């Protein structure tokens, strides 16, 4: 078993999180620095050296806020007392219960080790640091030192790499934008549900706090006009930039983000669930200009924020983490779809 090294990508697995009782998808740590602690184990048992570990985690958790820095403690199986003590340290620490040892194996960490292993990943989920220590406290102190040197301004961390997104002007005509806005205002609008899955089956998470916007379906006639424009004006751009051939369209809606209701969409990826994995590119066509905020950003890359003009579009890979910043004034209308 070879241990992950500096430069290697984090495995996109989904171990159980002790806080929520649900899987935590490692890819959701993107856009932040993340620390992973595989604590020292006592002999052959799966019980960690509790007091040293808790002190170590407490020491480091003072540096992690859950927003720019996340701390994970990976335990090979449940230990209720320890979990409760670690949970009491707050949201900036997440305990991952690696019952099937999948994460241990992916990191190349033995469950029979007698050292403390620490890994640090950058906002693009690539390892910056991997090191073994004789005990958890020595590891945590080194991490505290290391955290001091991490750049505080995440937005500019990946200075060299702008988001691989494509902006396009004049994708549809102003009159079609207007018609689409009107269908939204006059038609059946619904609170846009967050996608989730339960036991591998598609489900809607209606009490989500990550997204605030309304959506509406569009009539067949407008749908056909849009598809014609996509084929003529967007498909060739995607072919040129990414060698991508458009096959189908999924979820074509008019969305409205309203400042009055806190319109926004927090960081997420579009194709990480079983029923969304065929999505290749996300396309947002902006339909109006009369709003403030509502920028599209990519937390794993430079802090560049995008806002295509009305009739223009942005296209990006569904695997990229992206965010729609809060609308601060007015309403942003956009036509949203995925290409498969």
- For Fe ion, the binding residues (CB under 5 A) are 270
300 binds, among ligand AKG, Fe ion, none (CB under 5 to 8 A by kind): none
Q: Measured at CB, which residue is nearest to ligand AKG?
A: 284
Query: What's phi and psi for 60, nearest 5 deg?
Result: -80, -30
98 binds, among Fe ion, ligand AKG, none (CB under 5 to 8 A by kind): none
Nearest approach, Cβ of residue 270 and Fe ion (Å)? 4
Nearest approach, Cβ of residue 94 and Fe ion (Å)? 23
Nearest approach, Cβ of residue 334 and ligand AKG (Å)? 5
Q: How many Å apart are CA 265 and CA 286, to the nearest integer?
A: 15
334 binds, among ligand AKG, Fe ion, none (CB under 5 to 8 A by kind): ligand AKG
Please identify, using beta-carbon distances, which residue of 122 and 192 lies nearer to ligand AKG: 192
Q: How many Å apart are CA 148 and CA 166, to the nearest integer?
A: 35
Nearest approach, Cβ of residue 40 and Fe ion (Å)? 40
74 binds, among Fe ion, ligand AKG, none (CB under 5 to 8 A by kind): none
298 binds, among Fe ion, ligand AKG, none (CB under 5 to 8 A by kind): none
Cα 29 to the chain's mean position, in Å? 7
Write out the residues near ligand AKG by the rule CB under 6 A: 255, 265, 270, 284, 296, 322, 324, 334, 336
Please identify, using beta-carbon distances, which residue of 17 and 336 lies nearer to ligand AKG: 336
Compute the C-alpha angle 305/307/313, nearest 5°: 125
Rg (CA), the chain: 22
Residues with Cβ within 8 Å of 286's Cβ and at least 6 positions away in sequence, in order, are 307, 308, 309, 310, 311, 312, 313, 332, 333, 334
Alpha helices in 210-324 (DSSP H): 220-229, 235-242
Please identify, using beta-carbon distances, which residue of 28 and 296 lies nearer to ligand AKG: 296
Please identify, using beta-carbon distances, which residue of 94 and 332 lies nearer to ligand AKG: 332
Q: How many Å apart are CA 225 and CA 228, to the nearest integer?
A: 5
Please identify, using beta-carbon distances, which residue of 98 and 270 lies nearer to Fe ion: 270
Task: Report the b/e string of 212-250 with b at 16+ CB within 10 A.
Answer: bbbbbbbeeebeebbeebbeeebeebbeeeeebebeeee
226 binds, among ligand AKG, Fe ion, none (CB under 5 to 8 A by kind): none
Please identify, using beta-carbon distances, which residue of 84 and 190 lies nearer to ligand AKG: 190
Nearest approach, Cβ of residue 283 and ligand AKG (Å)? 9
Q: How many Å apart are CA 226 and CA 214, to the nearest integer?
A: 20
Q: Tally the C-alpha atoms within 13 A of residue 143's C-alpha that lie toward its C-beta.
A: 34
Please identify, using beta-carbon distances, which residue of 136 and 270 lies nearer to Fe ion: 270
In the DSSP assignment, the letter for residue 81 is H
95 binds, among Fe ion, ligand AKG, none (CB under 5 to 8 A by kind): none
Q: How many Å apart are CA 258 and CA 314, to the nearest integer?
A: 20
Nearest approach, Cβ of residue 259 and ligand AKG (Å)? 14
């Amino acid at each position: 078993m070879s241990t992950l090294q500096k430069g290697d990508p984090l495995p996109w697995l989904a171990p159980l999180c002790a806080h929520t009782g649900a899987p935590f998808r490692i890819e959701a740590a993107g856009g932040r620095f993340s620390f992973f602690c595989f604590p020292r184990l006592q002999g052959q048992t799966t019980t960690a050296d509790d007091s040293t570990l808790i002190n170590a985690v407490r020491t480091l958790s003072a540096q992690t806020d859950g927003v720019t820095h996340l701390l994970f403690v990976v335990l090979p199986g449940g230990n209720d007392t320890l979990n409760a003590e670690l949970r009491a340290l707050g949201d900036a620490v997440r305990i991952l219960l690696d019952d099937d040892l999948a994460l241990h194996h992916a990191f190349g960490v033995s469950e029979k080790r007698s050292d403390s292993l620490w890994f640090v990943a950058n906002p693009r989920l690539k390892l910056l640091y991997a090191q073994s220590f004789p005990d958890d406290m020595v590891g945590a102190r080194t991490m505290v030192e290391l955290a001091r040197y991490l750049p505080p301004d995440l937005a500019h961390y990946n200075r060299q790499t702008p988001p691989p997104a494509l902006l396009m002007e004049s994708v549809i005509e102003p009159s079609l934008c207007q018609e689409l806005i009107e269908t939204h205002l006059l038609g059946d609008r619904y609170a846009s549900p967050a996608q989730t899955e339960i036991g591998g089956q598609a489900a809607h998470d209606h009490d989500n706090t990550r997204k605030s916007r309304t959506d509406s379906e569009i009539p067949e006639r407008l749908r056909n006009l849009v598809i014609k424009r996509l084929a003529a004006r967007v498909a060739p751009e995607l072919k040129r930039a990414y060698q991508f051939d458009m096959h189908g369209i999924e979820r074509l809606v008019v969305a409205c983000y309203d400042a009055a209701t806190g319109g926004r969409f927090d960081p997420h990826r579009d194709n990480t669930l079983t029923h969304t994995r065929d999505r290749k590119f996300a396309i947002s066509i902006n339909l109006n200009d009369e709003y403030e905020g509502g920028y599209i950003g990519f937390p794993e890359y430079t802090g560049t924020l995008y806002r295509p003009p009305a009739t223009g579009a942005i296209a990006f890979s569904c695997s990229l983490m992206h965010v729609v910043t809060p609308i601060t004034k007015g309403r942003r209308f956009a036509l949203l779809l995925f290409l498969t």
